[in-house]
Structure 1
Amino acid sequence: MGSMGRQTRLPPVLDFSAFRGEDGPAKAEFLQRLGQACRDKGFFQLINHGVEPELQQKIFAAAKELFDLPMEEKLKARLTPATKGRGYETIGDQMLEPGSAPDTKEGIYLGDDLPADDPRVLKGEYGCGSNIYPACLGPQWHATCIEYLQTLKTLARDVMRALAAALAIGDDYFDQFTETDPVATLRLIHYPPTPTTSDKERGCGAHRDFGCITLLLQDQVGGLQVQDEETGEFLDIDPVPGAYVVNLGNLMARWTNHHYTSNTHRVLNYSPTDRYSIPFFYSGNANHVLDTIPGLEQRPQSVVARKYGPAIPREPYGPVSVTDFLRDQFVRSYARAQEYRPKAVEV
């Protein structure tokens, strides 16, 4: 297929100022393109989103400062089952693509910094706890991460309103999900160059995101790819300076009964340069119960045929809490990496 055909299959770059502005035709065109992108691949890039370039530069600097530390310092903040989803993970800790090798990336999980006596922490709510990071980085490093996290929460709420508007279910449909103690995770990630000696090595294995929406800030190295499900081909998502790559996760696909899709993507950093990315995972209220949105009970026929075959009817999903849905997916991805490791090197 020629370059023009390939270009039309790439996730679009959308101008968010059209949704926030007062120009009716521009907003209508934005919502039409947004809805199509969410039905097609569940991916789009967002510009004019309102996040200041200076803050983006600060969070990239924070990521590099963390990953430049000696390993013994980073391991002082190690992610473990007891750290409530917070802390540092080494290369190989996670395996997102079954049948591949564990991911060749290192990262850290951060979120709202809640004290041990916070009611949500005491109840053991998903994603709630205190941040864990190398103490040598100092409080200003942590303050930068929290400033960025709070800024992205605001952007995520606006994106959710746009997603509702594109579904024609009312801009405020998701407000209860987004405005009451929403769970959000900030992840700083470093990808060394991906080895090319094995077809199983991945910076980040092919997977679909677990949560509701992801807002990804990527550097200019490249390597992010999204799959075209009709052809199986992986398409490069070329970096647009300052833009956010927005993709929908499995939670949103389930909630909308696949009227919106969650698509397979991966990272292959074949460049000789280290790659840094800052994904922000937005999961909303952990206690919210997901049930099929009224009016979306009929699953799109194209999805039914592609996933199950045209002769198999599919009923809408039953209710499930955000916590139960996410915990199951998160645990399975780390269990795969543990099973892959030879018994002799287990610690």
Structure 2
Amino acid sequence: MLKTKSNDDKLDTLLSRSLVPIIDLAHCGTEEVPVRSVVNRVGLQFRKALSEKGMALLVNHGISDEKLKTAWDHLDDFVNLSADVKQHYIRTDGDNHGYVSPGIERFDGKTPELRHAFNICTLNAKNLPEEPLPGFADHISTLANDFKALASFILQAIAISLDIPHTFFLEKHSHMLSGDHDNMTTLRMLYYPPVVDDEPGQNDFVKGRCQYSYQRCVSDMPDFRPEQNARDEYSELDGKGNDGELSEHKLANGAIIRCGAHVDYGTFTLLAQDSEGGLEVKLPGSEKWHRVGHLPGAILVNCGEILSIWTQERYPALQHRVVVPEQEHIRARGRHSIAFFCHPDNITMISPNDLPQNDTAQNSTCLKQRKKSFKVAKEKVYNAYQIIQKKFRDTYSNNNNQ
């Protein structure tokens, strides 16, 4: 049983300080053309939230906790499969779909990251582990379509927030979850195993499902339990298990990495979490890391690099990371999350000059654009696929296991 913490011990989070915008999506609907008054209202809220914070928490979004928990159960079952079965679903170079084992990804370019991930870029059942895990494909496909519908609404609301036609982004994201050869949109299931201190100075990476995964469901209140920031500097992990996966890590400064600092590559990301698990962000214009805090049932949306390019950084990409909590009772349980990375269609050209402007904005920026015209003309414009593939190369190129 968790000990009750005093107010003095509570973690100082952005949520506890009311610094995370919360947007209510009640009555937004899932229609291709939602109620105009609702999308206008949400668009205005996005304008403030994304320009000032680069993120927001979405409530009443229509994706049930039960669907999310069932998906995490399916991921746990997959992680527990034998290595030779999981091998059939491994992500390979040139194809983002599939399983990524701990230690493969390195967002800082050098330090392996301790998590299991299953990337879903297509809902074709033959690419999902239905045979070893009956029910996996049907449930995950339904959940993925729920996220896709939510993303479609957000794309319209963001367009409204920028005073452009509400279908502008929707038309450029028409092939979400059709496969990464058409669109890199990905539903990513993530499991961060517990970290158990067996003896001073030694941290063991524990595989398998975590019995505390859904502890946050016993309360409807935000989770403000105390956690302190992990150290900003990481050093190399060492030690591998018999199956080649990282199984023990003894870092020089005692820190352990779950997900290194990075910005997401695409338009925006939707993130559902099962508990307060160490998510930290740098707010726009700040170099300080802040713990976000956990609001049960909410989905976090944050800006990606492509949206930042499109809006000339009016909506900045949010730098974030996942640290391992310092508290033993928190680090000893695993963390599950589901991220929906919303990307434009691969052939979409990404340029800040593509965004249409209304007459007022056009007149106010006319002189500035003239001065930049020669510089812009010399800049090379990339499509969405080229931008994202470069990011993938940066993430995986330093990995000897690939």
TM-score by length of 1: 0.77
SS class of match (1:279): strand
Report if aligned partners of 1:88, 1:108 keep a CA contact under 8 Å in 2: yes
**CA–CA distance in structure 2, aligned partners of residues 179 and 221 of structure 1:** 33
Q: What corresponds to 1:12 in structure 2?
A: 21
**CA–CA distance in structure 1, aligned partners of residues 277 and 66 of structure 2:** 21
1:252 matched to 2:248? The reply is no
Q: What corresponds to 2:55 in structure 1?
A: 43
**CA–CA distance in structure 1, aligned partners of residues 299 and 87 of structure 2:** 30
1:95 matched to 2:90? The reply is no
Question: Which residue of 202, 208, 213 maps to 2:257?
Answer: 202
Report if aligned partners of 1:37, 1:44 keep a CA contact under 8 Å in 2: yes
Residue identity opposite 2:385 in structure 1 = T
1:277 matched to 2:278? The reply is no
1:73 matched to 2:128? The reply is no
| Structure of greater relative contact order (alpha carbons < 8 Å, 6+ residues apart) | 2
Residue identity opposite 2:356 in structure 1 = P
Question: Which residue of 363, 375, 383 maps to 1:321?
Answer: 383
**CA–CA distance in structure 1, aligned partners of residues 123 and 163 of structure 2:** 36
| Rg comparison, structure with higher value | 2
Report if aligned partners of 2:176, 2:342 keep a CA contact under 8 Å in 1: no
Q: What corresponds to 1:62 in structure 2?
A: 74
SS class of match (1:69): coil
Taking a change above 3 Å as real, the CA distance of residues 332 and 35 of structure 1, as seen in their structure-2 partners, is: same
Q: What corresponds to 2:117 in structure 1?
A: 107
1:267 matched to 2:322? The reply is yes
**CA–CA distance in structure 2, aligned partners of residues 4 and 181 of structure 1:** 33
**CA–CA distance in structure 2, aligned partners of residues 80 and 160 of structure 1:** 30
Residue identity opposite 2:26 in structure 1 = S
Residue identity opposite 2:333 in structure 1 = T
Q: What corresponds to 1:143 in structure 2?
A: 138
Taking a change above 3 Å as real, the CA distance of residues 201 and 28 of structure 1, as seen in their structure-2 partners, is: same
Report if aligned partners of 2:280, 2:322 keep a CA contact under 8 Å in 1: yes
Aligned pair count reads 308
Taking a change above 3 Å as real, the CA distance of residues 4 and 132 of structure 1, as seen in their structure-2 partners, is: closer
* Cα displacement (A) at 1:280: 1.0
1:336 matched to 2:398? The reply is yes
Range with bigger deviation, 38-47 or 27-36: 27-36
Range with bigger deviation, 29-38 or 86-95: 29-38
Range with bigger deviation, 238-247 or 288-297: 288-297
SS class of match (2:297): coil
* Cα displacement (A) at 1:73: 3.1
Q: What corresponds to 1:212 in structure 2?
A: 267
SS class of match (1:45): strand
Q: What corresponds to 2:281 in structure 1?
A: 226
Structure 1: gaps (5+ residues): 116-129, 299-312, 339-345
Question: Structure 1, residues 219-269: CA drift from partner, whole Å, max 9, x if none?
Answer: 114211111344422111222222111111111111111111101100113
Residue identity opposite 1:14 in structure 2 = I
Question: Structure 1, residues 263-285: CA drift from partner, whole Å, max 9, x if none?
Answer: 11001132211111111111132
Question: Structure 1, residues 133-171: CA drift from partner, whole Å, max 9, x if none?
Answer: 484223x11211111111111110001111111112132
Taking a change above 3 Å as real, the CA distance of residues 171 and 27 of structure 1, as seen in their structure-2 partners, is: closer
Q: What corresponds to 2:236 in structure 1?
A: none
Taking a change above 3 Å as real, the CA distance of residues 247 and 72 of structure 1, as seen in their structure-2 partners, is: same
SS class of match (1:44): strand
Q: How large is the RMSD of aligned CA atoms in angstroms?
A: 3.3
Report if aligned partners of 1:63, 1:276 keep a CA contact under 8 Å in 2: no
Structure 2: gaps (5+ residues): 1-10, 178-182, 196-202, 204-229, 231-250, 326-330, 363-373
Question: Structure 1, residues 38-78: CA drift from partner, whole Å, max 9, x if none?
Answer: 11232111011122333222212222222233434323322
Q: What corresponds to 1:169 in structure 2?
A: 164
SS class of match (1:286): coil
**CA–CA distance in structure 2, aligned partners of residues 200 and 314 of structure 1:** 44
Range with bigger deviation, 237-246 or 195-204: 195-204
**CA–CA distance in structure 2, aligned partners of residues 218 and 107 of structure 1:** 14
Taking a change above 3 Å as real, the CA distance of residues 34 and 106 of structure 1, as seen in their structure-2 partners, is: same
**CA–CA distance in structure 2, aligned partners of residues 5 and 214 of structure 1:** 19
Q: What corresponds to 2:213 in structure 1?
A: none
Report if aligned partners of 2:129, 2:136 keep a CA contact under 8 Å in 1: no
Q: Percent of aligned pairs with the same residue?
A: 23
**CA–CA distance in structure 1, aligned partners of residues 25 and 271 of structure 2:** 15
**CA–CA distance in structure 2, aligned partners of residues 208 and 229 of structure 1:** 12
**CA–CA distance in structure 2, aligned partners of residues 5 and 94 of structure 1:** 28
TM-score by length of 2: 0.68
Question: Which residue of 96, 101, 125 maps to 1:85?
Answer: 96
